[in-house]
Amino acid sequence: MNKEFQVGVRDGIPIALGYFAVSFSLGIAMLTAGMTAVQGAVMSVSNLTSAGEFAGVRVIAAGGALVELILTQLIINLRYSLMSLSLTQKLDEKVTLWQKLLIAFGNTDEIFAVAMNHQKSLTLPYMLGLQSLPIVGWTAGTFLGAVAGGIMPRSVSVAMNVMLYGMFIAIVIPVAKKSRPVLIVASIAVFISSLFRYVPFLQGVSEGISIIICTIAAATFGAIFFPVAEETQEERPER
């Protein structure tokens, strides 16, 4: 087996374990929304995005329109386009266009972070190894979560949905502690989301539209008041 592939597989093990735990609760949420275990597994293996899938399932469960689902996924997953473009700067020059598209398909937040911290140029075998176990873990967790959700008592399956919020807290809190702008932007998103939950005349807005509004409003505020200065040529680190 290619050594680069082996290194990638090793680096992907922690991601795979985390994905399995989180996607287990996703499978339960899918079952609650009326989806089958097979449908959930197909959705996960073809749409590798935790936030996007959770939001999509909630729109489906709420009976939202198809346009809401499309816009929600577009906005939530738009960041992957930027991450993939950034990732190409570290890819080995031998990686072809079609191979880049294949790598982009399996690019997630955690995989991107590990890949960017890799000390060498990113080869195709390494990226395939890094992505393989997380994809399996995410898909298997979704399937088994949906299966187990139909067997476990409702009180247990409902309690396991807390894992989703635990994942978001684990992602946001460490960064927010180090960055005041992130803390403020995240707080604005929470505040606006609470308005849709508790203000009477806003409660009629569908969940998909409310997610879109919260995302755009918080991101716009952050872009206006906390712009990120572009690096000059001298400031950019040597690759």
Q: Is the pLDDT of residue 182 over 70?
A: yes
- Measured from the Cβ of residue 115, the count of other Cβ atoms closer than 10 Å reads 22
Lowest-confidence pick of 68-82, 86-100, 116-130, 175-189: 68-82
Predicted confidence at residue 230, as pLDDT, reads 54
Q: In sequence order, what are the residues at sequence separation of 6 or more whose Cβ sits closer than 8 angstroms to the Cβ of residue 34?
A: 60, 61
Tokens (6 digits) for 61: 């469960």
pLDDT in tens, 20-79: 888 888 888 888 888 999 999 999 998 888 778 888 888 888 887 888 888 888 877 877
Predicted confidence at residue 41, as pLDDT, reads 93
pLDDT band at residue 207 using 50, 70 and 90 as cut-offs? low
Closest to 171 in 3D by CA, of 102, 106, 87, 112 = 112
Q: Which residue has the higher pLDDT, 237 or 90?
A: 90
pLDDT in tens, 72-107: 888 778 778 878 888 888 898 899 999 999 999 999
Closest to 24 in 3D by CA, of 58, 62, 53, 60 = 53
pLDDT in tens, 1-11: 588 899 999 99
Q: How far is CA 46 from the centre of its chain?
A: 13
Predicted confidence at residue 37, as pLDDT, reads 92
Q: Is the pLDDT of residue 134 over 80?
A: yes
As a whole number of angstroms, the distance between CA 237 and CA 160 comes to: 43
Predicted confidence at residue 103, as pLDDT, reads 92
CA distances from 82 to 109, 192, 222 (A): 11, 26, 17
As a whole number of angstroms, the distance between CA 212 and CA 73 comes to: 9
H/E stretch holding 180 reads helix 180-198
* Helix pair 124-149, 37-46: axis angle to 10 deg: 160
Predicted confidence at residue 148, as pLDDT, reads 85
Predicted confidence at residue 125, as pLDDT, reads 93
Predicted confidence at residue 1, as pLDDT, reads 53
With beta carbons less than 8 A apart as the criterion, state whether 26 and 56 touch.
Answer: no
Q: In sequence order, what are the residues at sequence separation of 6 or more whose Cβ sits closer than 8 angstroms to the Cβ of residue 12?
A: 111, 114, 129, 130, 131, 132, 133, 134
CA contacts within 13 A on the Cβ side of 163? 22
As a whole number of angstroms, the distance between CA 211 and CA 223 comes to: 18
Predicted confidence at residue 160, as pLDDT, reads 65
pLDDT in tens, 137-165: 999 999 998 898 777 776 666 666 666 56
Rg (CA), the chain: 19
Lowest-confidence pick of 81-95, 114-128, 222-236: 222-236
Q: Is the pLDDT of residue 232 over 50?
A: no
As a whole number of angstroms, the distance between CA 234 and CA 137 comes to: 41
